[in-house]
Amino acid sequence: MIPDKISKAFNDQIQHEFYSAYLYLSMAAWFETEGLEGMGRYMRVQAMEEMTHAMKFFDHILERGAEPELLAIKKPQVKWDSPLAAFENALAHEEFISGKINDLMTLSIAENDHASRTMLQWFVDEQVEEEDTASKSVYNVKMIGDGGQGLLMLDREFGSRVFKIPLSPEFGNPAG
């Protein structure tokens, strides 16, 4: 059975992960209305990743004999001043999520919940990758600026990103 404190904290994290998906979908809509379909696709993929992350917490709660509680999700920002501002917002948000994951790891250690610690280690590693990817995106947009051919080339590059369905047992893969 999952400790009550961890179950509550994981429910809060589900909310954060779904908010992340909302934020990235909002960015996708903004990019696409600005004619940057590649960056929009990049953010759509990011939104799908975040929904997958939420489901990992959801499934963990269920597997440990508790019931997930879906909390309200606030409306995300809908406009940015520039592509750079949007990517900087994405980086800041990933840093926020990393802090939340670290807090969950600290709680799981304090509660002596080894099952949650094992699951959370995946998220610790994932957030290193998420921050690195977001940081590199900010760097690339800064390098080319907010307009011109460079932005269009970067938009094409971002548009090549695809969502890969996780095939590991911890994501509920029936074949896993």
Over residues 5-50, the pLDDT tens digits come to 999 999 999 999 999 999 999 999 999 999 999 999 999 999 999 9
| pLDDT tens digits, one per residue of 101-157 | 999 999 999 999 999 999 999 999 999 999 999 999 999 999 997 678 888 899 999
Is the pLDDT at 93 greater than 80, yes or no? yes
Whole-model pTM over 0.95: no
Sequence spans of domains, the chain: 4-161
Taking CB atoms within 8 Å and a gap of at least 24, the contacts of 124-127 are 126/53, 127/94, 127/97, 127/98, 127/101
As assigned by CATH, the class of the 4-161 domain is mainly alpha
